[in-house]
Amino acid sequence: MSLDIPQLIPQLQGMAQSAAEQAAELERLLPKAEQALDSCAMIEAQELMDKILRAGSRWRGARPTDESINTIFPPPELPDSFTVIGADGSQIFTDRHALALYFLINIGSIVVAHGSGEAPLVASHPELFYEQQDLYPEMMGLISSALVSGKRDAAEMAELARLSESARSQPTLALLDNGLLLWITTQELDQPTAQVEIIKSDYLRGMQAIRDTGAALGGYIDRPRTSNVLRLLHLAELPLEAINDETLRVHPYQHLTDRMLFARRLPPGHRSSRFELLPSNQDFSRAGHSIQFFYLHTGTQDQIARVEVPGWVAENSKLLDLTHAGILEECRVTGMPYVLARAHELAVVSQSDRQALERALNTLLLERGIRSEISQKELAKRWVRSGQRPSRRSSLP
């Protein structure tokens, strides 16, 4: 049975009305946020730092860097020739209803040598994990989806590092389709497991390898929903003695996003000033890869992206300019970095891919005298999806 849209019409009407009212309210708040940005830029650096320290380690705002927070930077010049590398990953999570327990990680990558006239170099690298130590790390039960995703993130960084090594001869920009902070380390785990620490170590090793090649590294976030800068503006407006958990929790800009604010400030091709991420940046800072970010108008309509870079890129004008200008060039035709769109296409594992994988696995198991079947629950789901009636004898779709 398909979704009964007519039954939802009254709720959809209410949703549309609510969205219109919220949009009007946000438009009213944006000029106040712009004014707060300019006012915050006038505060003495030490006074603002005292307020940030008072907010504590759990406050999720942004910290200013050496750039004034309301400065706008125009697009830099690009070198005549440069290389852009993109990597993206996808996965098949473990599934107890499948033929066998395993998970798969597939990394797609592309290298574009701008100015060379050469065709892009594309690749995909799938890897199956099926050994007991992969499936049951630390004897904690079947591996979680979060750990599989973390291993995928580390594999993406390793692929960027491998390809950056081969592009040492000219300016190179390596891009990820995500922020640079490893997601699994930002989940406020009081006691990270050994597996999380291994993934983090692998990820940071990849970042260091990219740094050693002299390449720039950036994480591209499309349509960001974060409000770290707006939290900073609210903090700046509070008297020092009034800063506490309660006053920080609710603020007048909480329904806005940084993207909305900088969409009003940035002309096409321009970037905002840099900010440092807080508070989940400590491990990266200790390893020499403190993460900073800026907002960038990509030149496509009102598209505002958030770009994250390690400190060694942020504080190197050549690498920072290459990141800024290189992303603009990549977005010129597709609206987002072409290398990331192509890497995603190379990495994605479709439903038909998964079914082909299972058919191949089933054949190999039968050759070894092992008869394995997917669960009846999964069979029923596949019958429903395909619109077929179940038969008494069913084979793998």
Indicate which CATH number applies to the domain containing 118: 3.30.2170
Residues 216, 364: one domain?
no
What is the structure's pLDDT at 397? Answer: 45
**Reduced to 3 states, what is the DSSP secondary structure of residue 101?**
coil
Residues 315, 204: one domain?
yes
Residues 342, 355: one domain?
no
Closest C-alpha to 178, from 301, 349, 340? 340
φ and ψ of 84, to 5 deg: -120, 130
Closest C-alpha to 95, from 86, 104, 87? 104
**Strand partners of residue 293:** 275, 308
Residues 161, 110: one domain?
yes
From CA 208, how far away is CA 231, in angstroms rounded? 31
Residues 158, 246: one domain?
yes
Element (H, E) at 324: helix 317-334
Q: Is residue 75 part of a domain?
A: no
Closest C-alpha to 84, from 104, 113, 125, 55? 113
Q: Is residue 51 part of a domain?
A: no
Q: Is residue 20 part of a domain?
A: no
Distances from the Cα of 214 to the Cα of 10, 27, 164, 222, 313, angstroms? 57, 43, 9, 26, 10
Q: Is residue 69 part of a domain?
A: no
DSSP string, 344-383: HHHH---HHHHHHHHHHHHHHHHHTT------HHHHHHHH
Residues 307, 360: one domain?
no
Contact 89, 325 (CB under 8 A): no
Helix count and strand count (H, E) for the chain: 14, 9
What is the structure's pLDDT at 189? Answer: 52
Q: Is residue 49 part of a domain?
A: no
From CA 294, how far away is CA 265, in angstroms rounded? 13
Contact 110, 346 (CB under 8 A): yes
What is the structure's pLDDT at 394? Answer: 47
Range of the domain at 291: 82-347
Residues 273, 316: one domain?
yes
What is the structure's pLDDT at 388? Answer: 59
Residues of the chain falling short of pLDDT 50: 393-397
Residues 86, 232: one domain?
yes
Total-model pTM: 0.90
**Reduced to 3 states, what is the DSSP secondary structure of residue 255?**
coil
Q: Is residue 355 part of a domain?
A: yes
Contact 287, 157 (CB under 8 A): no
Q: Is residue 28 part of a domain?
A: no
Contact 151, 137 (CB under 8 A): no
From CA 23, how far away is CA 29, in angstroms rounded? 10
Neighbouring C-alpha atoms within 13 Å toward the C-beta of 55: 26
What is the structure's pLDDT at 386? Answer: 61
Residues 356, 319: one domain?
no
What is the structure's pLDDT at 380? Answer: 59
Q: Is residue 68 part of a domain?
A: no
Contact 88, 177 (CB under 8 A): yes
Residues 367, 314: one domain?
no
Closest C-alpha to 73, from 327, 325, 333? 325
Residues 126, 193: one domain?
yes
What is the structure's pLDDT at 251? Answer: 83
Residues 164, 197: one domain?
yes
Tally of structural domains, the chain = 2
Strand runs (DSSP E) across the chain, as ranges? 62-64, 82-92, 103-114, 121-129, 172-176, 216-221, 275-277, 291-297, 304-310
Phi-psi label, residue 117: left if phi above 0, alpha if psi -120 to 50, beta otherwise: left
From CA 175, how far away is CA 83, in angstroms rounded? 11
